[in-house]
Amino acid sequence: MSKNEIVRCGWCGTDELYQSYHDNEWGKPVTDDNILFEFLILESAQAGLSWITILRKREGYRKAFSDFNYKKIAKYTDQDIERLLEEPGIIRNKLKITSTINNAQKFMEIQKEFGSFYNYLYSFLPQQKPIINTVPALDAVPATTELSDRISKDLKKRGIKFFGSTTCYAYMQAVGMVNDHLINCSFR
């Protein structure tokens, strides 16, 4: 390997969209509640699908769901649900669509209680700081952890839907609560 060679975590392969996501977003701490909500919606939509499928539909989600404006989404009506069921740019699953509306409402309740969704999430982390793991290989990355179990259980208790422990851990990785870039990754 040359000094200037870029090494990435193997899961992003050679797809340019996947590589850009890996290089510029994945594992980088997010403090902005708007972006935290965006990833909450995208990770929930991903349940049962591949992440690249959702990345390819991200702009469709942005357009269909009011630029991820949770205050607007929380007020969506049955008419909006019908509109979204016809929207080709998103996953047209009625349960996932209605859960997005529900999750926007619950997101704001959590914000009200904790001051921000960020404050809520980071209340679970040791010293309220991201966890930096030393991962030697892809097969060493867990699908869930005790922490993702606790957070997803608490979110479920608060009414958040489509957010089990596996989805929660993927979310934690996406928004940089956990950094699971491999130890040889150039973007660690």
Catalytic sites, residue numbers: 21, 43, 51
Beta strands of 47-185 (E only): which ranges? 131-132, 178-179
With contact defined as beta carbons under 8 Å apart, do 158 and 110 qualify? Answer: yes
Distance CA 84, CA 122 (A): 32
Distance CA 55, CA 129 (A): 27
Q: What is the DSSP letter of 131?
A: E
Per-residue tokens: 148: 């993702």
